[in-house]
Structure 1
Amino acid sequence: MGPAAGLNYPSRSNWPPGTSRSADLDALAVPSRPLLQAALNGDRDHPAAPRTPPDIAAQARNAVDAGARALHIHAFDTDGRQTLAAEPCAATLRAVRAVCPGIPISLSTSADVEPDPQKRFALVESWTDVPELVTANQGEPGIAELCELLVTKGIGIEAGLLSLDDAQRFVASATAGRCVRAMVEPLDADPDDAVAHAAAIEQVLFDAGVSLEQVHHGDHIASWAVNRRAIPRGHGIRTGLEDTPVLPDGRTAKGNGDLVAAAASMLNEYRSSTSLTSPPDQL
């Protein structure tokens, strides 16, 4: 199966020279405890995907108990639609913080939630309660202006890189130096394609000298393959119902806690078998 439909990036045969330079890419490995982030909902169609502040808070607590050290969430209005409106976002943040004190929360600003860049900007500008972080997808219209707004509001930026084009656009912009981390998020359905795509995005970051912390994930079953590649490289990983409804063996997960527990197990197994790759002296 090829790359997911609708993504605009070259085939592997046309990726930039050096995409497979594993020795160079080893320089991106960070000898520290990789982050495990839980993405709790998004628009995933799953009976356990939380939509209301109490349900999101309960799943957040489950994810943290299972090993998550950061959370990524989408807020929903009373009609069950994703929203960036100030009050639903504030209510969701308050509910999660009440049960997960000290855990950093990232809110989505995806164009899937609000496709109009000006409306999105105005909604984020109206936020009264702000998250610690926001994921800002770098391939979306109006993203530079949104990132400027996030900086003025004191919100950390996670740069969402869903494609090779996104990564190339990101490193050519002035945004990288203002971000907390880069989210490497290939959406390919085929696990092999997703892994190769993640490697290509990582190569672009390396070639541009971008040394931000990286967190890697994919979509559905391919997400686990992307996670597995990232772990020995010292990168963080993300999982949760937004990313995949299935466990590594293909069984449907009961909820976010199951998924985070599986990811935590992958991290622990790697830690117990080997140490993380150390970066070259020059880095």
Structure 2
Amino acid sequence: MLQACLNGARTRAECAHLPVTPQELAAAAREAVAAGAQDLHVHPKNRDAEDTLEPAVVAAVLTAIRSAVPGIPVGVTTGAWAAPYAEMRAAHVRAWTVLPDHASVNWHEDGAAEVAAALLERGVGIEAGIYSGTAALQRFRTWPQAHQVLRVLAEITDTSPQAAVRAAVGLLDELRPVTTSPILLHGEDEAAWPVLRLAVSRRLDIRIGLEDVLQLPDGTPTQTNADLVQAAQQIIHQASETL
């Protein structure tokens, strides 16, 4: 499965063409799906372009994207930067009027289990975010509902390509006895493409988009999620030819 992460917690200062509004995210989603994305991850943003879990904003974003790409699963973040307290994030989830297909929960953040419980109550799939170099895996391992997640996100925080690949291999080894859920492996910035290639070689789910990286594999700056998805598709195709 190839997921496109359309914007992330980035700002227009980092990427002038970052999709922010519901309409921009819908257009970016349409282009990414046309390029081969099968799933979407977005960060709804308020009028100040800040990540938010406010029900009205989440509803507007999801409605716009689903109108543009009907039938494509769409997920959102529940990161602590969008709402500082776990009880606040859980309250937002319980107040959502339009539900995403899934939502990511970062297990290194305090209150992750509380947010995950709210998502399960609403019937929203959980992407369990396990950041490398944190206590996330230990916390996730002890959560009684760990077997109910939609997938595990193995998220590599090292941005040095060699260090990131080593961290990814180590995290995958640690995850193997912990979960039978599908694993989506991804890196960020300079490590995004090396980690994606590792994920492809291991036949794991992958993601790419402006949240993770602003350059194509050859280092050329990119302006669109679609170009990143197309580059990922080329890597998948090249890997399949060697099998």
Alignment partner, residue 186 of structure 1: 156
The answer to whether the 8 Å contact 1:51/1:75 transfers is yes
1:83 counterpart SS class: coil
Paired AA for residue 37 in structure 2: A
Which structure 1 residue ranges, 5 or more long, are not aligned?
Answer: 1-34, 275-283
**Structure 2 contact 189–212 (Cα < 8 Å) conserved:** yes
Answer yes or no: is 1:95 the counterpart of 2:64: yes
Residue 169 of structure 1 and its aligned partner are, at CA, apart by: 2.1
Residue 125 of structure 2 corresponds to residue 159 of structure 1: no
Runs of 4+ in 1 over 3 A off after TM superposition: none
Q: Which residue of 2 aligns with 1:263?
A: 232
Tell me if structure 2 keeps the 8 A contact 1:36–1:236.
yes
Tell me the number of residue pairs that the alignment of Structure 1 and Structure 2 aligns. 239
Give 1 or 2 for the bigger CA radius of gyration: 1
| Alignment partner, residue 104 of structure 2 | 135
Q: Does 1:147 align with 2:113?
A: no
> Of residues 46, 51, 64 in structure 2, which corresponds to 1:82?
51
- With normalisation by structure 1, the TM-score equals 0.82
Number of the residue aligned with 1:108? 77
Identical columns (%)? 38
Measure, in 1, the Cα distance between the counterparts of 2:145 and 2:194.
29
* Cα distance in 2 for residues equivalent to 1:91 and 1:55: 12
Q: Letter of the 2:149 partner, please give it.
A: C
Indicate if the aligned counterparts of 2:210 and 2:224 stay in contact, CA closer than 8 A.
yes
RMSD: 1.1
> TM-score, normalising length from structure 2?
0.95
Counterpart amino acid of residue 82 in structure 2: V
Equivalent residue number for residue 4 of structure 2: 38
Higher relative contact order at CA 8 Å, sep ≥6: structure 1 or structure 2? 1
Does the CA contact (< 8 Å) of 1:168 and 1:204 recur in 2? no
Aligned-partner Cα distance in 2 for 1:67–1:189: 26
Unaligned stretches of 5+ residues in structure 2: none
User: 1:22 maps to which residue?
Assistant: none
Q: Are 2:211 and 1:245 aligned?
A: no
2:200 to 212, 216, 231: 231
Describe the superposition over 1:244-266 as per-residue Cα deviations: whole angstroms up to 9, x where unpaired: 11111111112101111101111
Between stretches 165-174 and 86-95, larger displacement belongs to 165-174
Aligned-residue offset at 1:120 = 1.2
Secondary structure of 1:81 counterpart: coil
1: CA distance between counterparts of 2:58 and 2:200? 32
Letter in 1 for 2:157: L
Q: Does structure 2 retain, via aligned residues, the 8 Å contact 1:82–1:113?
A: yes
